[in-house]
Amino acid sequence: MKADLYRQFFDNLPAYCTVQDRQLKVILANRTFVEDFGEPRKDYCYRLYKRQDKPCESCPVERTFSEGRMQESEERVVCRDGREICVLVQTRPIFDDTGRVEAVLEISTDITAMKKLHDERESERRKYRMLFEQVPCYITIQDRLLNLIDANRRFREDFGDFQGRKCYEAYKHRSEPCLECVVQKAFEDGRVHSTEEVVCSRSGQRNVLVQAAPMVGPSGEIESVIEMSTDITSIRQLQDQLQSIGMMIGSISHTLKGLLTGIEGGRYLVSSGLEKGDASRVERGWSMVERNLERIRFQVFNILYYARERKPQPEEVDLHGFVYEVCEIVSGAASRCGVRFACNVPEENGMIVIDRNAVRTLLINLLENAVDACRVDGAEKEHAVVLDARLTPASVIFTVSDNGIGMDRESREKAFS
């Protein structure tokens, strides 16, 4: 009665169950096995399972006979109707009264559906990993302490290995978190946050648009945050160039308008002088016309100067004469704005090698900006602009200083970015 019950259990197990001898012949099989592989008739297991004429290279049954303990493997077998299935094979030794392994019980569980699901998930994982690696922006995954858990290929190429580093160490070479950290905000409120930052890559400073999004685990808690930083350096450079062009066009327009007004004034003096026979009036008017025409010519020259690429043209220049020439150009504008202008040069004169036109234009622009900063400053104080020139054994140092309105913190931080 008990033997019949055990046989019934054996036959109804939802797996392929066989008992094999040392020759790997199947001496007993359950009903599940018979239905899919046929009657064993003491045939070899490798013929029944795999339709082959020799044992498998790493046979778990042989290993069980050899070692006397359980073995496990994953195999592909072929049913008698031609279906190929994947099975998880587990073996147990059957001992005789002397303790010798007399036979082996092999249980093979059909895991085809599980294997297919696993392969599909693995394929999806590889696909998403490839996407993660190939996206043309910097992607990192961070924990609550801002440790970098993972980073994509672009990040590793531009910022180095991420392991054991904080985000602010890798991105900005800082020793503490940023004041407005979008990753911390995402942890706090579970929302997507974005900002624009300047980071330090191996190739230099980069402008990036940063977006941080929370990653929720199975429990519904935020386990990490994914941060994506898109390099917008070229866009910012283009914007800066367009802004500079716009400012230059505006400045040129105002300048030309003033010069044309001056020519109109001179024309009026010439016309009225001719009508009245006033030679001095005509002379003053024509002088105004000539002066403003010369300024227009100089303005057009400046436009052409900035419009084309040019290489530096170094030449020997007398330091004192060069500085006084620049000061003479700016002093009139400073006087009209009520700004005291001072020019300090070293007692000892000398020849310096510079691109005369480029350096003169640079200094004039800086000095005019300084005068403007004093002009728009509403503070009731004496405003002053100072140009200092100092010689060193290897160079000349020009310093422009003023006590005008100055720049706010944001302007200072972005001045050279």
The answer on 207 and 108 residing in a single domain is no
Domain for residue 127, yes or no? Answer: no
For 147, the token pair is 């440790």
CB 141 within 8 A of CB 148: yes
Domain for residue 124, yes or no? Answer: no
Of the three residues 231, 264, 283, the one that is the final residue of a domain is 231
User: What is the reported pLDDT for 94?
Assistant: 94
User: What is the reported pLDDT for 78?
Assistant: 94
pLDDT in tens, 64-99: 999 999 999 999 999 999 999 999 999 999 999 899
The answer on 60 and 163 residing in a single domain is no
Of the three residues 116, 148, 182, the one that is the final residue of a domain is 116
Angle at 343 between CA 337 and CA 346, to 5 degrees: 175
User: What is the reported pLDDT for 295?
Assistant: 73
- CATH code of 82's domain: 3.30.450.20
pLDDT in tens, 401-411: 999 888 765 45
User: What is the reported pLDDT for 412?
Assistant: 62
The total of structural domains in the chain comes to 4
User: What is the reported pLDDT for 411?
Assistant: 59
Domain for residue 122, yes or no? Answer: no
pLDDT-flagged residues of the chain (< 70): 1-2, 301-302, 304-310, 408-417
The answer on 360 and 377 residing in a single domain is yes
Q: Give the count of alpha carbons within 13 A of 207, CB side only.
A: 13
The answer on 160 and 92 residing in a single domain is no
Residue 394 domain boundaries = 315-414
- 24 class by beta-carbon count within 10 Å (0-12 exposed, 13-18 middle, 19+ buried): buried
The answer on 7 and 98 residing in a single domain is yes
Of the three residues 198, 231, 264, the one that is the final residue of a domain is 231
Domain for residue 247, yes or no? Answer: yes
Domain for residue 130, yes or no? Answer: no
Domain for residue 126, yes or no? Answer: no
Angle at 265 between CA 263 and CA 270, to 5 degrees: 90
CB 381 within 8 A of CB 402: no
The answer on 112 and 6 residing in a single domain is yes
The answer on 111 and 12 residing in a single domain is yes
The answer on 399 and 325 residing in a single domain is yes
The answer on 388 and 285 residing in a single domain is no
